Amino acid sequence: MAKKRVLAAMSGGVDSSAAVKLLLDEGYEVAGATMHLYNNEDIGVREKTCCSLNDVEDARLVALKLGIDFHVFNFSDEFKLRVMDNFVDTYLAGGTPNPCIECNKHLKFGSFLDRAKLLGFDFIATGHYVTSHFDEASGRWLLKRSADRSKDQSYVLYGMTQEQLSHTLFPVGAMNKPEIRAIAEENGLINAHKRDSQDICFIPDGDYASFITERAGEQPEGDIVLSDGTVLGRHKGLIHYTIGQRRGVGVSYSEPLFVTAKDMVSNRLIMGNAEQVCSKRLTAEDVNYITVDKLTSPLRCTAQTRYHQKDVPCTIYPTGENKAEVEFDSPHKAISKGQSVVFYDGEYVIGGGTISGTEV
């Protein structure tokens, strides 16, 4: 029987490189490919960052070392539209986006998988720290947290469809980082000790406000107020602040204050106490479910609203096509519009969606 063909998504990092070696050891016919998403010069840096030209070369050297074919897919136009422009637009609308989720949804498990199918591959593979398997009882593919919870990346993969899961392999998902680096070192891979990529690959210095300003212009200053309208000071543009932020706002008060909301219509930054920054409910849209086709009745589970956050008990209420309301057992802190809420049943991902609003 012919070997199954796998196209490994190689970011230039050690995780995806070790994934290739593991696949070869398992007997797959493997080729590698890197998504070229932007030039470093396009984002104004020269340091190595994920999916830049430097990483293409690192991935190419690893592919050469392991003796596999290597491809480069130029998805820069789609990355700009789906990820970078979306990042800017969401901030300008008062939200806090997660570009990794958008990239996975539209690029890695969208365009990349489509290209792999066109080239005749049976599967794609990535270096994500998750595992998946087909559940005979439900007849569905399931997505499970990594055994190494500190590296778990299930939060950014909740948008995967059954079709995508059925054609994706996660070779490193059951391993930890030291084991991965050991595999790379034993096989003489150039990136065995390469540092992990930045959370936002196209803003490696973390200065997202400057990134937005360069593309959308200077943002107007406005009032910093309490919920009752009391003016506390002036803000330097709403893009500079996030929900739940306490330090660096530039106002003083008789008790600790947090950013509770951004009033985009009146251009006001609203502050409140610790109780006011918590919400009991949120609404979500573009909801995708993995364990079920759709939700038709309330479901008890746990949820997290930020990457690497501890999931907490809640109830999901389906409210319409790809929409849901989530009620937490206890008020939940700093829920931000534009971020994702991801639902869990123990170690398994139920699904998730984009946060569209909150209620106290």
pLDDT of residue 359: 84
Does 330 count as an annotated binding residue? no
Burial 119-135 (b: 16+ CB within 10 A, else e): eebbbbbbbbbbbbeee
Listed in sequence order, the residues at least 6 apart from 94 whose beta carbon sits closer than 8 Å to its beta carbon are 238, 262, 264, 337, 338
Q: Is 314 a catalytic residue?
A: no
Whether 116 has a binding-site annotation, put simply, is: no
- Taking each helix axis as running N to C, give the angle between helix 53-66 and helix 14-25, from 0 to 180 degrees, rounded to the nearest 10: 20
Is-catalytic flag, 103? yes
Class of domain 5-127+171-186 as given by CATH: alpha beta
Judge whether 222 is annotated as a binding position. Answer: no
259 is in an annotated binding site: no
pLDDT of residue 242: 94
H-type alpha helices, 238-349: none
Helical axes 85-92 vs 208-216, angle rounded to 10°: 90
CA angle 339–342–348, rounded 5-degree value? 155
H runs (alpha helix) in the chain:
14-25, 53-66, 76-79, 85-92, 99-103, 112-118, 162-166, 177-186, 208-216
Query: At residue 327, what is the residue type?
Result: E
Q: Which residues of the chain have pLDDT under 70?
A: 1, 40-53, 198-199
Per DSSP bridges, beta strands 29-36 and 70-74 are parallel
Annotated ligand binding at 10? The verdict is yes
C-beta separation of 13 from 51 below 8 A: no
Decide: residue 284, CB within 10 A, 0-12 exposed, 13-18 middle, 19+ buried: buried
Kindly list the distances between the CA atom of residue 343 and the CA atoms of 266, 282, 291, 322, in Å, as whole numbers in the listed order. Answer: 34, 13, 10, 14
pLDDT value for 4:
96
User: Which among 50, 51, 103, 278 is annotated as catalytic?
Assistant: 103
Give the residue among 40, 78, 45 at the shortest CA–CA distance from 56.
Answer: 40
The span from the CA of 128 to the CA of 80, in Å, is: 23
The superfamily CATH assigns to domain 219-272 is Adenine nucleotide alpha hydrolases-like domains (2.30.30.280)
Contact 353, 341 (CB under 8 A): yes
Instruction: Name the CATH topology of 278-359.
Output: Elongation Factor Tu (Ef-tu); domain 3 (2.40.30)
Residue partners of 48: CB distance under 8 A and separation at least 6: 54, 55
Cα gap 75→112, rounded to integer Å: 9
Domain ranges for the chain: 5-127+171-186, 219-272, 278-359
Q: Is 348 helix (H, G, I), strand (E, B) or coil?
A: strand
What percent helix, strand, coil does the chain show, rounded to 5? Answer: 30, 30, 40
Q: Would you say 11 is a known binding-site residue?
A: yes
Using CA atoms, how far residue 346 sits from 82, 133, 160, 197, 312, in Å, is 31, 15, 18, 28, 11
Q: Could you tell me the maximum CA-CA distance found in the chain, to the nearest angstrom? A: 74
Over the stretch 241-270, which tens digit does the pLDDT of each residue have?
999 999 999 999 999 999 999 999 999 999
Cβ(158)–Cβ(304) under 8 Å? Answer: no
